[in-house]
Structure 1
């Protein structure tokens, strides 16, 4: 990722629905005063049988999204 990796926090925690893990991501950053500010919340991206696959997909998706906007 070309953008500053310390500038953004990526939370790729999947949710469990209908027997699969739904990949989604929440991207946030910290304001100067230290408070957290949400930059983007993706909604469901794709479903996976394995939790690790959902996390990896969401992390990669977030990195591409950040590069496209801030890279």
Structure 2
């Protein structure tokens, strides 16, 4: 992870539904080049029996999303 990626905010707090923890992530992008921040909501990613498993899954998903977002932004600037 580089400095750009560390400026993203990630909230992996799961929600409780039907007896399980639903993993989802809220990602806040940094304000760059005069643009405001963006808030990205993943939607439900997967259900887990353990809260911590849902958090780990959401964080991993968010990290992969951020990596892809940064790569696309880097390619567009080239």
TM-score range, shorter chain: 0.7 to 0.9
Checking the alignment, whether the CA contact within 8 Å between 1:25 and 1:58 is kept in structure 2 is yes
Q: State TM-score, norm by structure 1.
A: 0.81
Query: Which residue number in structure 1 is paired with residue 75 of structure 2?
Result: none
For residues 18 and 31 of structure 1, the distance between their equivalents in structure 2, rounded to whole angstroms, comes to: 37
After TM superposition, give the deviation of residue 59 of structure 1 in Å: 0.1
For residues 38 and 70 of structure 2, the distance between their equivalents in structure 1, rounded to whole angstroms, comes to: 15
- Residue 37 of structure 1: SS of its match in structure 2? coil
After TM superposition, give the deviation of residue 5 of structure 1 in Å: 3.5
After TM superposition, give the deviation of residue 30 of structure 1 in Å: 5.0
Query: Which residue number in structure 1 is paired with residue 64 of structure 2?
Result: 64
- Structure 2, unmatched stretches of 5+, are 72-78
Q: Deviations over 1:25-54 (max 9, x none)?
A: 00014548xxx8343100000000000000
Q: State TM-score, norm by structure 2.
A: 0.75
- Structure 1, unmatched stretches of 5+, are none
RMSD: 2.1
Q: When the two structures are aligned, how many residues end up with a matched partner?
A: 68
Higher Cα radius of gyration: 2
Checking the alignment, whether the CA contact within 8 Å between 1:27 and 1:41 is kept in structure 2 is yes
